[in-house]
Structure 1
Amino acid sequence: MAINLQKGQRINLEKSNGSKLQNVCVGINWGAIEKKGWLGGITKEAVDLDASCALYDDNKNLLEIIYFGNLRSKDGSIVHSGDDLTGDMGGDDGLDNEIITLDFSKLNPAASSVAFVLNSFQGHDFGTIPFASIRIYEGTPKRVNEVFAKFDIANGSGFAGHVSMVMGVFYKKNGEWKFNAIGEPTKDKKLEQTVSTVTNQYL
C-alpha cells in the first residue's frame, strides 16, 4: 500500500501482506504567521487550526463529532491529541501539532463513515499561513509506518481564500474499509457548517 494519494483518489485499506489496516493517524503541522513590525522586526501571530472528525451511520446520520471540545469518541476508537492554539512559533519543527488517531478494531459497528475536516478557528486564510501540511498515515502518534495521503494547504492551489476544508473520508463498503482522499476547501467558516457540507456532499 505504498501510495501517496492525490486528492480524489480512493484506496482500500488492505496492506501488501493481505492484513487489514487497523490504526490510522491524521496529523496536522502548521506555523504561526510572520508579520513585519514597525521597526523592520518580525513578529509572530499565533494560528489556531482545528482538526476534527465526524462519525456517520449507513443512513448519513451524524453519530458523534470528535474535536477540541470532545477529545475521545464514546467507544474509545478515536482520540484527539488536544487543541494547539498557536502553531509552531519558532519555525517548522517537523512535528504534527494536532493528531487524531483512529483504531478500526474498536470502532462502533454502527459507524460506516469517518470524515476528517480542518478549520481555521480565528478565520486565518489558509493562504496566509507560512506552512501547513496534513498527512494521513498508518501508525501511532509516535511512529509513522506508511503515509498514504499528504496535502500542502499553505501552498496548494485552491486553498488560498479559504478557512475550512474536508481532508478525507474513511467509509465501509461491503464490509471493507476504504479511504477517499478529498482534500477540498469549502466556503464554510465554522466546524458545524463544514460537517453539514460533508453530510450533503461527501458521503
Structure 2
Amino acid sequence: MAINLQKGQRISLEKSNGSKLQSVCVGINWGAIEKKGLFGFGSSKEAVDLDASCALFDENKKLIDVVYFGNLKSKDQAVRHSGDDLTGDMGGDDGLDNEVITLDFGSLNPAVKHVAFVLNSFRGQDFGTIPFASIRIYEGTPKRVNEIFATYDIAHDASFRGHVSMVMGIFYVKNDEWKFNAIGEPTKDRKLEETVNTVMRNFL
C-alpha cells in the first residue's frame, strides 16, 4: 500500500501483505489560532471548529446518506463519526486526531458505490490561518494506526490558503473492488451541503 499519496493519485485498497482492506479511518488533527495581544503584548487562543463529514452515493451519483456532526452513524452503521470537536488543540499539538470517521467496507449497503470525505471550517476560519491542520487516511481504529496511505498538511500547503472547505478523497468501486482517489482539493463552498453538491458535480 502506498504511503503519503500525492493529490489525484488513485490506489487499490490492498494491504502490504496482499489482503484487501476491510476498514479505514479518516482522522483530522488541528490547532487553535494564536492571537497576539495589542502592541504585541500577551496572546490568546481562538477556538477552531473543523468538521469532517462523509457522503455516500450510489452508482448513479444519487446521495444515499451523509455522516457529520449532526448524524454520527450511517443508516447501515458502516460509517461512524467520533463526534464534534469545537475547539481544536488549545494547548499545542497533542498528536491525536480531533475527529475520526471510521468506514467498514464489509457493512456498507451494497448500493453504495462512492464514499466521499470532505472537510469544512464551521465558523469560516481560513485554513491558512490555522497553525497546524493535518489529515490522515489509514488502516486501523480511532485509537490505533496500522498503516497510513494518505496524508495532507492543509495548514502549510499554500493551495488551501483563502479556503474554508475541501474534498479530502473518495473511495469508489471499480470492477467489484474498492479503490481510493486522493483528491485533496479546496473548494469555494461555505457549507457542507454545498461541498456535497460540488462532489456530485465534479468528482464522481
User: What TM-score does the superposition give when structure 2 sets the normalisation length?
Assistant: 0.98
Task: State the partner residue of 1:14.
Answer: 14
In the alignment, is residue 89 of structure 1 matched against residue 106 of structure 2?
no
Q: Residues of 2 paired with 1:2 and 1:166: CA distance?
A: 20
Deviation at 1:35, TM superposition (A): 0.4
Do the aligned partners of 1:58 and 1:112 also contact (CA within 8 Å) in 2? yes
Q: Residues of 1 paired with 2:151 and 2:34: CA distance?
A: 24
The one-letter code matched in structure 2 to 1:106 is: S
Task: State the partner residue of 1:157.
Answer: 158
Task: State the partner residue of 1:36.
Answer: 36
Deviation at 1:2, TM superposition (A): 4.0
Do the aligned partners of 2:34 and 2:43 also contact (CA within 8 Å) in 1? yes
State the SS of the aligned residue for 1:75.
Answer: coil
Deviation at 1:38, TM superposition (A): 2.7
The one-letter code matched in structure 2 to 1:168 is: G
Question: What's the Cα RMSD here?
Answer: 0.8
State the SS of the aligned residue for 1:108.
Answer: coil
Q: Which runs of 5+ in 2 are unaligned?
A: none
Task: State the partner residue of 1:77.
Answer: 78
The size of the alignment, in residue pairs, is 203
Do the aligned partners of 2:128 and 2:158 also contact (CA within 8 Å) in 1? no
Q: Residues of 2 paired with 1:18 and 1:57: CA distance?
A: 27
Deviating more after overlay: 171-180 vs 31-40: 31-40
State the SS of the aligned residue for 1:158.
Answer: helix
Task: State the partner residue of 1:45.
Answer: 46
Q: Residues of 1 paired with 2:143 and 2:109: CA distance?
A: 25
Deviation at 1:95, TM superposition (A): 0.3
Task: State the partner residue of 2:135.
Answer: 134
Deviations 1:25-48 (A, max 9, x none): 000000000001236111000000
Task: State the partner residue of 1:181.
Answer: 182
Deviations 1:91-137 (A, max 9, x none): 00000000000000101100000000000000000000000000000
Do the aligned partners of 1:2 and 1:146 also contact (CA within 8 Å) in 2? no
Q: Percent identity?
A: 78
Deviations 1:147-172 (A, max 9, x none): 00000000112100000000000000
Give the alignment of 1:84-123 within 5 angstroms: 84-123=85-124
Task: State the partner residue of 1:171.
Answer: 172
User: Which 4+ stretches in 1 moved above 2 angstroms?
Assistant: none
The one-letter code matched in structure 1 to 2:63 is: L
Q: Residues of 2 paired with 1:16 and 1:33: CA distance?
A: 38
Q: Residues of 2 paired with 1:37 and 1:27: CA distance?
A: 32
Deviation at 1:15, TM superposition (A): 1.7
Q: Residues of 2 paired with 1:21 and 1:164: CA distance?
A: 28
